[in-house]
Amino acid sequence: MLKIANHTHYHKQLARRLVEQARHIAPEADMTLGINDSEISLCSVINGQHACYTHSFTQPRLVKRAKQKNQALLKACNNKKQTLHRVLDLTAGWGKDSFILACHGQQVNMIEQNNLIAACLNYLVEIAGLEQPDDCYQRMEVFHRNSLQYLQQNPTIDADCVYLDPMFPAHKSSAKPSKDLQLLQMLTDNQDMELLFAKALECARHRVVVKRPLHAPTLNDIKPDIVYREKTIRFDVYLGK
Ligand SMILES: C[S@@+](CC[C@H](N)C(=O)[O-])C[C@H]1O[C@@H](n2cnc3c(N)ncnc32)[C@H](O)[C@@H]1O
């Protein structure tokens, strides 16, 4: 069951739309969705402990991270001449990667199959855009769809770079993922990922980028053309033919 606590004062209309969308959603575990004028929170009980995930595109930590110019995500999703203007994010999730790309000038269309996550994402992009109208939020657009169906219906997509960040496979060690990730895992999962990747390779105009854990096997066992590494993750880049 999903409980909803709406505490908005200014963005009442947008919040009402989110409440309306969320009202019909029944996650597998009991959860509470908190909505206020600057962020959303999702809370549940994990292993007997209360856990919450709070998200907004104006959180100082995320804004600071978005400003870092040298990160591998930016190198992977653009070329040296910076001519890849349009990104299609097929696994939007909480939209953090898309936000970083949008803050560096790319137009990002974000597709998310989970209805609760897509509705929250849309709310967060809209409230952030209202508060800072000239900023990167204007370059982010959210679509609630299954990406495989989207690509099948739109084979000639208008995107220079197609981006995929599948949910990471379970870690071999007994270490549990962070609470944020556990909450995300309670809500959603990868759908059609192998087929989606194959279709993305077929449709992409210039490149497909896949985010992976540093030592995970490549998706569909296909060798990338370029790899950009960070401490715990890497970005596999597949260049268009
Ligand atoms: C690891 S999260 C992405 C995190 C995101 N990159 C970020 O920065 O917040 C993966 C997301 O992909 C979504 N997803 C998985 N398969 C999908 C599909 N076939 N179509 C659309 N979304 C999908 C999941 O619902 C989940 O929200």
Q: What is the DSSP string of 89-109?
A: ES--TT-HHHHHHHHTT-EEE
- Residue whose Cα lies nearest atom 12 of ligand 1: it is 91
> With contact defined as beta carbons under 8 Å apart, do 52 and 154 qualify?
no
Return the amino acid letter for 170: A
Residue nearest to atom 13 of ligand 1 (CA): 91
- Three-class DSSP category at 29: coil
The CA-atom distances, in angstroms, between 238 and each of 42, 225, 233 are: 35, 5, 17
Read off the pLDDT of residues 80-115 as tens digits, 9 standing for 90 and up: 999 999 999 999 999 999 999 999 999 999 999 999
* pLDDT given at position 91: 97
Q: What is the pLDDT of residue 175?
A: 63
| pTM of structure | 0.95
Amino acid identity of residue 125, one-letter, is: V
Mutation test of ligand 1: which of 117, 144, 167 has the most ligand atoms closer than 8 Å to its C-beta? 167
Domain ranges of the chain: 59-239
Do residues 125 and 95 lie in contact, with contact meaning Cβ atoms separated by under 8 Å?
A: yes
* Residue 178 pLDDT: 76
Architecture of the domain whose range is 59-239: 3-Layer(aba) Sandwich (3.40)
pLDDT confidence of residue 42: 94
**Which residues 6+ apart lie within 8 Å of 75 measured at CB?**
228, 235
The label of the residue with tokens 């370029």 reads 226
Q: Give every residue of the chain whose pLDDT is below 50, as ranges.
A: none
Contact 164, 197 (CB under 8 A): yes
Q: Which pLDDT value is given to residue 155?
A: 83
Ligand 1 contact via 58 beta carbon (within 6 Å): no
